[in-house]
Amino acid sequence: MKVFKFGGASVKDAAGVRNLERIVRLEGAHDLMVVVSAMSKTTNALERVVEYCAAGQEDKALNQWIDIIDFHVAIMKELGLQPGSDIRLQGEIPFDPALPYDENYDQIVSMGELLSTQIIAVYLLKQGLSVEWWNMPKLLRTDNTWREAKVDNETSRTVIRAGWDRSNRPSVVIAQGFIGGTADGKRTTLGREGSDYTAALLGNYLDAESVTIWKDVPGILNADPRIEPDTVLIPSLRYQDAVELSYSGAQIIHPKTIRPLENKQIPLFVKPFGDPLAAGSRIAADGVGPIDVPVYIWRKNQILITMRAKDFAFVLEESLSEIFDIIHRHRLKVSLIQSSAVTISVCVDNTRFVPEAIEALQVHFNVSYNDHLSLLTIRGTTPDILERAKAGRTIMLSQTTRRTARLVVKELNADN
């Protein structure tokens, strides 16, 4: 069997759904697990619904909700489906003011994937394919770490294998990426952009022959084509190089995707949604490595936090464990670390957890920070390349080795 994953940028409209059908048919519409994200920017829109609900702005929440429903209804009609009878549409926002924000978030934001997969499953069924829709909140078991739920692999594997191995299973299964559920029936989400991770887990559980992520780019490129003019496709990579790329912030695959595949030596393909017969990129144990072209990876929305001991008696070892304990407890994602005799700086993703973490750090350290930063990692750099990358930019910090440069730079449009 194979696993295919389609993201929101691919299934963004009716034409995208028809193209998905074409790709499924090219594969023989056989023994296929199809993992799908929410359509287009639906996840962002649902996040706004949560924010409005939590702020008590009911009118705004409802308007946003109706926009989301209308968007999906328009796609259904274009696909010849009957909204309301083919697909049940939830009129009410599943918000409960008695519950914590993050728990509400998961109940609401998971609707994006539930909607997209129902539309696609019903559409494919009407096109004559043998299809089954799977409700992942009942199949992919997680804990209740809302918005970043941890998957219980043992339970999930057993349930999912049993579902897959049934003799009467249809040829194509349509499943939601990004969402799961707790033992007591609550929906959870796995972290933004988590659908790739779902695809990798399903590939692992079902011993897939391969997993393919269909994207709106030709495959894995050495730079973001929206930023660098001359990008090249990397046709073959090793797992370890792919992990490094995604850890550095390459948006192409979610960082958690590689491990479940590497564990079972399942190759991962990244292929262009618009050109399904193209080879794309292949990531596997026998991939070509190290990557032999310079690779540019931007990690946006960074904040550089610098700590200095209050009494100047800076003992690095002791401070380190305290600092990292705080970082871990506040779920900060560290992208770079630098220390000097009296300071330690960490660059982290600027998430909603940062202000509280800074408060905790201020108990024992003098803390200063700079935000509106990006981290540029260049692998396979040369002095020339580095000079060009630095030109015209404000560099807050740089770390370079012979082959790799990491620059923390001010975002060009930052106003402070």
Q: Of 12, 25, 60, 192, which one interacts with ligand ASP (CB under 6 A)?
A: 192
Which SS3 state, helix, strand or coil, does residue 299 take?
A: strand
Q: Of 17, 34, 38, 213, which one interacts with ligand ASP (CB under 6 A)?
A: 38
Contact 252, 42 (CB under 8 A): no
Nearer to ligand ASP, 113 or 244 (CB): 113
Report the 10 Å Cβ neighbour count for 241.
Answer: 21
Q: Give the largest Cα separation in the chain, rounded.
A: 73
193 binds ligand ASP (CB under 6 A): yes
176 binds Mg ion (CB under 5 A): no
Closest residue to ligand ASP using C-beta atoms: 195
* Span of 37-45, 61-69, 261-269, 279-287 interacting with ligand ASP by CB under 6 A: 37-45
Per rule CB under 6 A, count of chain residues that contact ligand ASP: 12
43 binds ligand ASP (CB under 6 A): yes
8 binds Mg ion (CB under 5 A): yes
CA dist., res. 56 & res. 51, Å (int): 9
Q: Closest separation between CB of residue 193 and Mg ion, Å?
A: 5
Residues 93, 97, 103, CA angle at the centre, nearest 5°? 75
Q: What are phi and psi of 134, to 5 degrees?
A: -110, 140
Q: Of 4, 7, 269, 373, which one interacts with ligand ASP (CB under 6 A)?
A: 7
Which SS3 state, helix, strand or coil, does residue 86 take?
A: coil
257 binds ligand ASP (CB under 6 A): no
The rounded radius of gyration (Å) of the Cα atoms in the chain is: 23
CA dist., res. 370 & res. 269, Å (int): 38
Return the one option of Mg ion, ligand ASP, none that residue 194 interacts with (CB less than 5 to 8 A, by type). ligand ASP
CA dist., res. 406 & res. 375, Å (int): 7
7 binds Mg ion (CB under 5 A): yes
Q: Exposure of 328 by Cβ count < 10 A (0-12 exposed, 13-18 middle, 19+ buried)? A: exposed
10 binds ligand ASP (CB under 6 A): no
146 binds ligand ASP (CB under 6 A): no
194 binds ligand ASP (CB under 6 A): yes
* Span of 5-13, 122-130, 266-274, 303-311 interacting with Mg ion by CB under 5 A: 5-13
Q: Exposure of 166 by Cβ count < 10 A (0-12 exposed, 13-18 middle, 19+ buried)? A: exposed
Q: Of 8, 219, 249, 294, which one interacts with ligand ASP (CB under 6 A)?
A: 8
Q: Closest separation between CB of residue 107 and ligand ASP, Å?
A: 15
Which SS3 state, helix, strand or coil, does residue 270 take?
A: strand
Strands 395-400 and 404-410 come out as antiparallel
Q: Of 19, 37, 176, 350, which one interacts with ligand ASP (CB under 6 A)?
A: 37
Binding site for ligand ASP (CB under 6 A): 7-8, 37-38, 43, 112, 177-178, 192-195
